[in-house]
Chain A
């Protein structure tokens, strides 16, 4: 009986259990060089607060975590600040009867509450009991600007008491005001920039000031939300700023953060443990970065219409508490949703903390645990690679950096391994090379005495004398003497359709080899990606289009070259590529990133040399002057663009026509079948 009573006492709270289960959204992490990949859930929805005590939330616009651990919710619809425990129980209500439309809230160490009130067009300061201490109206300082708007949306306060206000429609930046009774305007801070491109440069040249003012993309966007970390650095997000929607501003207001993945619709930002940065897009995607701006996780999602927790309609604010729980307000769903980190996320955070502190060896344990839970987690591979590198286990480091797709680390480990290999094998390698050279000289000497290589020479000669082989090999004369080569093509039958076709095929092979089989450090396509059909189409169609268009232009500009000659001239101009590219492909497998300039140099030489030879081939084959050749080349390029456009238009028209006909036929068939 006693046992039953004990159980019953515990069971009386049976219906208050928060749900912990599979999340309704996917979680992604970043694999350098490959984009995003799915991973275990990092944060689970732990709580959905739609009412605090008896108070229903009405369009909550912001949420912050105070030093007391409580949540401060800007309840815009209720015209108040609701203070709640992390589990959603009511602590107190502030600002009732004072506030009009609180959109942003901040709480400092002394529990003083700062409220950005759009309705009052003021920033209101309340003490911990809700009494109004100060209010800051629109600054009257001339530098604030006559036309500048003051409709406070969000507010933040640094340790010195300086107040930062993000105002709706104010594109000059964050408004910085001195705290206390003064409230002096200190200036603008962290203004966004407009993107300068060719179009804007052109507009600036020709548009009047009025016209420029009317262009929305000529004006920078306003800062949407802010946060301040322990060091006093300000983090800002700006909805609509595609180039840098998330910024970490130094004391002078300059952005010092470069994030690899972001969202131009960021509306909320918070700083968590270890300086990790959280930014949330309006739609509901939440991004977590480490303090350096490396993306760790993306989770959360827009509402799917199925009323599932952890999904959003309009994210308006975000905060992180000491446990690492994230609180996100949703002004459309009238809720604040809490997310708790999983065991996996806790491990990742611990590993990052150690790693960022430079404790690579200490971080090995958590990274190992993470790799056990997710062998494809690139950061774990990189972390283990760094640890192994410091332990001088370069082979292990190389493998881990490879798994983590970390090119810099891989390059360093490879350099060490190569250096070690050379150190222990250089002598032998030199000896082997010397032996080979001696053998070669001995063979030559013996051949002079006994002519034992005559058979081989004759066989090689017979092969060279095969017309097709001879025609293919003629390409290399182009390198030595382009004029002779043109003469040979035009008058000596040194090139044919077959030989040109074979060379084009050889070029395609080289193209494929370089694209897919370059060394890990210099490969330009993601691992696992192959598209030979696409490559084939690209190479052959571009070549055919270029030669075809050039031929058309030549025929109307008194050119003397036939299509066959132009085709041969063009492909024979690729001789430098045939010479250099195999070397480039080999070098990409043995050089490190630091030596990459050599590969770049070889590529530049190959391409430039080919371009010159192609130009000379067009000139010599058509007997053009230099100027006329230039004109023909430019006209040919223009013709290519026109042709491509034409093909595209024809394709669209034909496909629409086919769809129209099939739609009519489909409907007719359907109706006939019904009758």
Chain B
């Protein structure tokens, strides 16, 4: 039977070769021969490009698929592709045509490959790279109407997988199903895979344009000769650091931690060609990192890619203070790679165009179904209770009781979205990990809370109770904290808070978070926090990867019901939210970042209410206000009835400006400004965003145009005067 199968495969392959040979003979020019150094390579093709009406070749690549917008060309030796814009004739390569003489063999192979494998031998810390040029391999190609499937087998590691590439109206998709991965040698496993890492690459400023990295709101890395000024690339895990494996970065004296990647999207635009793409990781983002290499950081190329990590090698400690043993995760991460390369061209070839593509994807996948209320609200959050030390026990520090919160809502006189933080017994830091309805008695207890909820309802406000399903204080809950999150090493993850009251915090195991969510008896609206911006591999008996954790957190969000207010959520949770709060307005200030752009805000505009970080803590109030206006985001404030100086000796000493008495005028003033903006834009989506040195010009679907002037002097544009550090709306 096996022999028969082999014979069939051979026969089909032979036929495919003959067909391919005929086709190539008909072509004006034969494809380029394999690059120098190609080792042990052969390709078997199944099917042909016969479905196409014509045969075409571009820079050594054969046309394999086309639609109304794009043509896709393939180099069957490297699996490199070229996407050509049929309207303009411009195209983008996914591989380097001729490597620089300065590139070493490994880099030359890497940059000429459509897909690159990294594998682990034993528990060797360094992964070995197998590319499409240097490695011994076999490729079996199957052509389809809208693309091709390539079964790739690397001989040395004995690893094979299937790459499925399809052309769509938006561009193309690339998939590697986990079920297609075969590891033949027990001690050799897949470490990581790159899929089209050099798509749209550039060399030392040969193309005008930029790379988009999902840092905070989004940042651009300009394509220009950097003269080796940038020593290191941007490498960041999608959905934040994997603290279950990597060294933890908790509280420290020096640094504000970089922004987490909330949305697994990156992009590249060649502005001179008016062509670019947004690469959306549809599946597998939990175990992916995004790498953007500006030229000068190792090579002369500018390239941006996702790297999907299947296994990790880590140091397993054996003693309390010393002794480690090298180990690797007991099973591969669950990754079904699916990437959508959504191309942008013409006037859309920019970061705003990429944002529209991402918005299209989110809309297609039903992400905004829970976002039904787009009416304008200013976010005014309350901070309830915290604890401070006393001689024999800890004292309650009541900052805003429920009656005061109700008074504040009445005094504001406009519709708000409010999240009540620190409302539960135990206060903000030491609230019970069980998500039970236990309003702090010091704030007014259940009776007080009921009155507050009734008041909010009467006023038409949305009042959501904060539910942090992540943190737990071992001091306050010693028994519950026994089951807290364990890293892959089996060690409990502990966070030093730097506070005297609760110096240590832990995280709940995802299963405990899910349990708390399913057992929750809170009937009011909920603001889900903590797990919304945290994702890690962990150990709970056996190894769980980040995809498992994401699935558990999704279940937890689902268990809490529809229409959650989500606190700085990762993209996979967007669909559970009615509004998104605490969203970043800036980035991490990377030295290679030439500019920050409101990519995320543009993508979400008109689809779901997006609120920024609390304005009361920003050092530049005017600039922060303008940034919100520029991105179509909404303002947020955190208020307390009492002077926040009372929090000085608590875990939340970082709340240093919140007293309502001091902030109420500013809040009301901001509400007026943003209501005026909302009146102009009618809550519609952004259709264009351009930024000059000091002026941002933002167009909306309803025809409104907003000018935002970040400069110190007035700007007159098209007869409209935009005041210094101000904005103006026109239709």
Q: Shortest beta-carbon distance, B322 to chain A, in Å?
A: 6
Residues of chain A within 8 A (CB-CB) of B644 are 375-376
For chain B residues 284-341, which have a beta carbon within 8 Å of chain A? 316-323, 325, 327
Contact of A14 among B216, B258, B662, B691 (CB under 8 A): B691
Residues of chain B within 8 A (CB-CB) of A3 are 717-718
Q: Is A336 an interface residue (CB 8 A)?
A: no
Contact B617 A40 (CB under 8 A): yes
Q: Shortest beta-carbon distance, B144 to chain A, in Å?
A: 40
Contact with B along A291-312 (1 / 0, CB 8 A): 0000000000110111111110
Instruction: Choose the segment among B29-37, B383-391, B404-412, B438-446 that binds chain A (4+ C-beta atoms closer than 8 Å).
Output: B383-391
Q: Shortest beta-carbon distance, B700 to chain A, in Å?
A: 15
Closest-by-CB residue of B relative to A43 is B619
Q: Shortest beta-carbon distance, A87 to chain B, in Å?
A: 11
For chain A residues 106-133, which have a beta carbon within 8 Å of chain B? none
Q: Shortest beta-carbon distance, B269 to chain A, in Å?
A: 12
Instruction: Given A403-B645, A666-B319, decide whether A516 and B391 contact each other with a Cβ distance below 8 A.
Output: yes
Contact B589 A308 (CB under 8 A): yes
Instruction: Given A308-B588, A528-B389, A532-B391, decide whether A16 and B693 contact each other with a Cβ distance below 8 A.
Output: yes
Query: Total A-B residue pairs with C-beta atoms closer than 8 Å?
Result: 208
Contact A11 B690 (CB under 8 A): yes
Residues of chain B within 8 A (CB-CB) of A517 are 391
Contact A26 B691 (CB under 8 A): no
Contact of B255 among A2, A24, A343, A376 (CB under 8 A): A24
Residues of chain B within 8 A (CB-CB) of A39 are 656
Contact A307 B231 (CB under 8 A): yes
Q: Is A193 an interface residue (CB 8 A)?
A: no
Contact with A along B571-595 (1 / 0, CB 8 A): 0000000000000111111111111
Contact B255 A25 (CB under 8 A): yes
How many residues of chain B get a CB closer than 8 Å to chain A's CBs? Answer: 78
Q: Is A50 an interface residue (CB 8 A)?
A: yes
Contact B591 A12 (CB under 8 A): no
Contact B587 A663 (CB under 8 A): no
Q: Is B692 an interface residue (CB 8 A)?
A: yes
Contact of B320 among A11, A371, A375, A659 (CB under 8 A): A659
Residues of chain B within 8 A (CB-CB) of A38 are 653-654
Separation of A20 and B586 alpha carbons in the complex (Å): 8
Contact with A along B215-226 (1 / 0, CB 8 A): 010001010000
Q: Is A204 an interface residue (CB 8 A)?
A: no
Contact B588 A24 (CB under 8 A): yes
In the complex, which of the residues B220, B591, B619, B662 has the most CB atoms of chain A within 10 Å of its own CB atom? B619
The DSSP consensus for interface residues of chain B is loop
How many residues of chain A get a CB closer than 8 Å to chain B's CBs? Answer: 75
Q: Shortest beta-carbon distance, B466 to chain A, in Å?
A: 22
Residues of chain A within 8 A (CB-CB) of B695 are 10
Separation of A529 and B658 alpha carbons in the complex (Å): 24
Contact A375 B589 (CB under 8 A): no
Contact A22 B586 (CB under 8 A): yes
Q: Is A600 an interface residue (CB 8 A)?
A: no
Separation of A63 and B647 alpha carbons in the complex (Å): 42
Q: Shortest beta-carbon distance, A191 to chain B, in Å?
A: 33
Contact with B along A6-17 (1 / 0, CB 8 A): 110011111111
Contact with B along A651-668 (1 / 0, CB 8 A): 000000011101111110
Instruction: Choose the segment among B70-78, B147-155, B174-182, B620-628 that binds chain A (4+ C-beta atoms closer than 8 Å).
Output: B620-628
Q: Is B643 an interface residue (CB 8 A)?
A: yes
Instruction: Given A306-B590, A528-B500, A663-B318, decide whether A20 and B718 contact each other with a Cβ distance below 8 A.
Output: no
Residues of chain A within 8 A (CB-CB) of B258 are 24, 306, 308
Instruction: Given A16-B693, A309-B590, decide whether A373 and B620 contact each other with a Cβ distance below 8 A.
Output: no
Contact of B692 among A10, A308, A309, A664 (CB under 8 A): A10
Q: Is B567 an interface residue (CB 8 A)?
A: no
Contact of A7 among B259, B617, B718 (CB under 8 A): B718
Closest-by-CB residue of A relative to B587 is A21
Contact A21 B619 (CB under 8 A): no
Closest-by-CB residue of B relative to A372 is B662
Q: Is B697 an interface residue (CB 8 A)?
A: yes
Q: Is A264 an interface residue (CB 8 A)?
A: no
Residues of chain A within 8 A (CB-CB) of B392 are 532
For chain B residues 219-237, which have a beta carbon within 8 Å of chain A? 220, 222, 227, 229-232, 234
Q: Is A70 an interface residue (CB 8 A)?
A: no
Contact B323 A666 (CB under 8 A): yes
Q: Is B459 an interface residue (CB 8 A)?
A: no
Q: Shortest beta-carbon distance, A610 to chain B, in Å?
A: 24
Residues of chain A within 8 A (CB-CB) of B647 are 376
Contact B691 A51 (CB under 8 A): no
Instruction: Given A15-B222, A662-B320, decide whether A342 and B662 contact each other with a Cβ distance below 8 A.
Output: no
Q: Is B536 an interface residue (CB 8 A)?
A: no
Separation of A40 and B389 alpha carbons in the complex (Å): 25
Q: Shortest beta-carbon distance, B674 to chain A, in Å?
A: 20
Separation of A304 and B252 alpha carbons in the complex (Å): 12
Residues of chain A within 8 A (CB-CB) of B650 are 528
Contact B227 A376 (CB under 8 A): no
Contact of B693 among A10, A305, A659, A662 (CB under 8 A): A10
Can you identify 23 A-B contacts, CB atoms within 8 angstroms? A10-B695, A22-B589, A24-B258, A26-B255, A37-B653, A40-B617, A44-B620, A51-B227, A302-B254, A306-B588, A308-B591, A310-B589, A342-B619, A343-B620, A372-B657, A373-B616, A374-B657, A376-B644, A512-B391, A529-B500, A659-B323, A663-B319, A667-B325
Query: Which 9 pairs, one residue from A and one from B, show the smallest C-beta to C-beta distance?
Result: A528-B649, A663-B319, A21-B586, A666-B318, A663-B323, A342-B619, A3-B718, A301-B254, A10-B692
